[in-house]
Amino acid sequence: MRAAPDLSVYLVTDEGQCRSRGRDVLATVEAAVDGGVTCVQLRAKGTDGGLFLTQVLEVAEVIGDQVPSSSTTASTSSWRRVIRSAGRYTFGQS
């Protein structure tokens, strides 16, 4: 059985709030992870699926192994494989 993810410091992004403080989502996530965030949820309600997928890939690249993608730490390339697979399925991209 998998161990539960560490949700002790959980970040939910909001593009509008990030912009109002002079940062984009990527910079916000990077600063939050450097500050100890253990879980990141990207939200982009009004964003096109392809743009959202691009943002997810950028965030995965920045956070690397600092925030595991599951109960075991995954490499950034593992993140990319999972996200790209989801992108092909969800958005029809390859």
Closest CA to 39 of 63, 23, 19: 63
The pTM assigned to this predicted structure is 0.67
Percent of the chain predicted with pLDDT > 70:
69
Better-scored residue on pLDDT, 36 or 87: 36
Better-scored residue on pLDDT, 80 or 8: 8
Closest CA to 11 of 67, 61, 65: 67
Average pLDDT, the chain: 76
Residue linked to tokens 């992870």: 33
Instruction: Give the mean model confidence (pLDDT) for residues 44-73.
Output: 76
pLDDT of residue 5: 77
